[in-house]
């Protein structure tokens, strides 16, 4: 098993290589730095994978609390539904109104297309204007790899 | 959707800018570096959000195992309870004794004040000496953003 | 509680120290950088801690989807079972065949030895050729500390 000190060593090697690259062009570096698209200080993806209406409500409370406490401008939020959790996003879902409110508040809401295929669900069966991702779990892996926090409802 | 290579590019741009800043003051840099408060090599926040006594016991086993295996001096641990999980921290909780033992072993234990308000719970209804956070989910987002690991019980 | 800006300041201090170290040996740095063992772009550890066959199947679907979508060569995957989730890896498990298929596809599958001890399970009671870790939760903490993504099934 790879241990932590190996990882630290690898990170340090990488940082020093970057530092050296920077040093070689230090004078011009601030001018040359590529424009960086601003990310909010906080980014978080919520996993909803249970057919449990109480968890759906809790998640919708959570995202509101996160916007209220951190400031809506400071946090980017996604709710990613897959497996039995996709039911949260069906048009007839008991929380459909609250999902729409969340989207109006700027929260991204995504259904897993792998799951939809398995459940014979079409886009028109779902809450209007939600987003779709090919695989919910892959979305969550990508987001964490990009540095997002993760909450499993 | 933002893809990984965009993120990598942004990270590299930021690292090179930092490297350049360092290079400009290389001789004095080690003297000028701000003092960094030491963090333990491992830091982990546990989410308890179910009213499930078996999960409470498992979490209390987990934090003990983490201290035993990693060494208590090497790991900082928080248990953050919210939603139905707040019941774990009520004074009459079946695991109240074990929660107190965990706190005595240096583990931080926090109840979500948003949840407590919703359940009409006061501080005096809870296990003595636990901590409180305004919103449990926000605590978990902040900790992960600071680099902590996360375990959902 | 440590706040984010403290963390940022600490990270910046560390980065600048590294940058300075790099600058002092800029000419030789690329030659001197320690060899870095290549990691796949994506790494993810799945936690299975419930005795819930539907979650076991969903997890086994998830790891297959992750390999299909990201490319098996681009993602390193572990499934870590502990607590009631260890039952997924017993020889008589309903998903034993699928677990073996996952291992043949290169996915690491690990049972928690702390849990096995508590359940009086021996290695010979388990699916053939799975791996063992002293404590499942510690494995998940270590992996996240190394930068792996985490999915709680």
- For chain B, percent of residues with pLDDT exceeding 70: 76
Secondary structure of residue A95 in the 3-state scheme: coil
C53 close contact with A: CB closer than 8 A: no
Q: What is the pLDDT along chain B (153 residues), one digit of tens a residue?
A: 344 444 444 444 444 444 433 333 333 334 445 555 679 999 999 999 999 999 999 999 999 999 999 999 999 999 999 999 999 999 999 999 999 999 999 999 999 999 999 999 999 999 999 999 999 999 999 999 999 999 999
C36 close contact with A: CB closer than 8 A: yes
A18 close contact with B: CB closer than 8 A: yes
Yes or no: say if B47 and A151 are a contact pair by the CB < 8 Å rule.
Answer: yes
Contact residues on chain C for A4, CB-CB shorter than 8 A: 142, 145-146
Contact residues on chain C for A24, CB-CB shorter than 8 A: 26
Confidence band, pLDDT 50/70/90 cuts, at residue C111? very high
Residue C56 pLDDT > 60, yes or no?
yes
A108 close contact with C: CB closer than 8 A: no
Contact residues on chain B for C6, CB-CB shorter than 8 A: 37
SS (H, E, C) chain C: CCCHHHHHHHHHHHHHHHHHHHHHCHHHHHHHCCCCCCCCCEEEEEEECCCCHHHHHHHHHHHHHHHHHHCHHHEEEEEEECHHHHHHHECCCCCHHHHHHHHHCCCEEEEEHHHHHHCCCCHHHECCCCEEECCHHHHHHHHHHCCCEEEEC
Entry pTM: 0.79
**Separation CA C105–CA C64 (nearest Å):** 9
Which residue in B6, B19, B141 is closest to A22 by CB distance? B19
Lowest mean pLDDT among C4-8, C113-117, C124-128: C4-8
Confidence band, pLDDT 50/70/90 cuts, at residue C130? very high
Name the average pLDDT for chain C: 85
Lowest mean pLDDT among A23-37, B42-56, C36-50: A23-37
- Identify the pLDDT of residue C81: 98
- For chain A, percent of residues with pLDDT exceeding 70: 76
**Separation CA A55–CA B56 (nearest Å):** 18
Yes or no: say if B44 and B140 are a contact pair by the CB < 8 Å rule.
Answer: no
Residue C25 pLDDT > 60, yes or no?
no
Of all residues in chain C, the one with the smallest CA distance to A145 is C149
The conformation of residue A25, written as its DSSP 8-state character, comes to T
Contacts of B128 (CB under 8 A, 6+ apart): B91, B100
- Identify the pLDDT of residue B38: 76
Contact residues on chain B for C44, CB-CB shorter than 8 A: none
The conformation of residue B50, written as its DSSP 8-state character, comes to S
Between chains, do C65 and A138 touch, taking CB under 8 Å as contact? Answer: yes
Neighbours of chain B (3+ CB pairs under 8 A): A, C
CA within 13 Å, CB half, A85: 29
Span A54-74, average pLDDT? 98
Of all residues in chain B, the one with the smallest CA distance to A4 is B41
C73 close contact with A: CB closer than 8 A: no
Contact residues on chain B for C114, CB-CB shorter than 8 A: 61, 65
C6 close contact with B: CB closer than 8 A: yes
- Identify the pLDDT of residue C36: 58
Confidence band, pLDDT 50/70/90 cuts, at residue C29? very low
Q: What is the bridge-based pairing of β-strands C149-152 and A131-133?
A: unpaired
Span C108-123, average pLDDT? 98
pLDDT tens-place string over residues C68-97 = 999 999 999 999 999 999 999 999 999 999
Q: What is the ipTM metric for this complex? A: 0.78
Yes or no: say if A63 and A107 are a contact pair by the CB < 8 Å rule.
Answer: yes
- C17 vs A122, higher pLDDT: A122
Q: Kindly state the tokens that stand for C153.
A: 């099934």
**Separation CA C32–CA C23 (nearest Å):** 13
- B10 vs C58, higher pLDDT: C58
Q: How many CB pairs under 8 A join A and B?
A: 102
Contacts of C84 (CB under 8 A, 6+ apart): B54, C49, C50, C51
- Identify the pLDDT of residue A38: 77
Span A9-35, average pLDDT? 42
In Å, what is the CA distance from C110 to each residue of A44, B53, C116, C137, C142?
28, 25, 11, 11, 14
- Identify the pLDDT of residue B36: 58
Strand partners, C112: C133
Span C10-32, average pLDDT? 41
pLDDT tens-place string over residues B85-97 = 999 999 999 999 9
A117 close contact with C: CB closer than 8 A: no
Strand partners, B94: none
C44 close contact with A: CB closer than 8 A: yes
Residue C3 pLDDT > 90, yes or no?
no
Contact residues on chain A for C39, CB-CB shorter than 8 A: 10
């Amino acid at each position: 098993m790879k241990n932590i000190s190996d990882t630290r060593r690898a990170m340090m090697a990488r940082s020093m290589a970057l530092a050296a690259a920077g040093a070689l062009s230090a004078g011009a570096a601030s001018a040359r730095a590529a424009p960086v698209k601003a990310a909010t200080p906080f980014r978080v993806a919520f996993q909803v994978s249970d057919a449990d209406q109480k968890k759906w409500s809790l998640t919708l409370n959570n995202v509101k609390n996160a916007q209220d406490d951190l400031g809506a401008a400071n946090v980017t939020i996604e709710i990613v539904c897959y497996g039995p959790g996709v039911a949260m996003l069906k048009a007839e879902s008991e929380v459909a109104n609250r999902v729409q409110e969340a989207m109006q508040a700027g929260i991204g809401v995504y259904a897993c297309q792998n799951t939809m295929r398995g459940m014979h669900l079409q886009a028109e069966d779902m809450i209007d204007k939600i987003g779709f991702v090919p695989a919910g779990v892959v979305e969550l892996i990508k987001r964490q790899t990009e540095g997002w926090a993760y909450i499993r409802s």
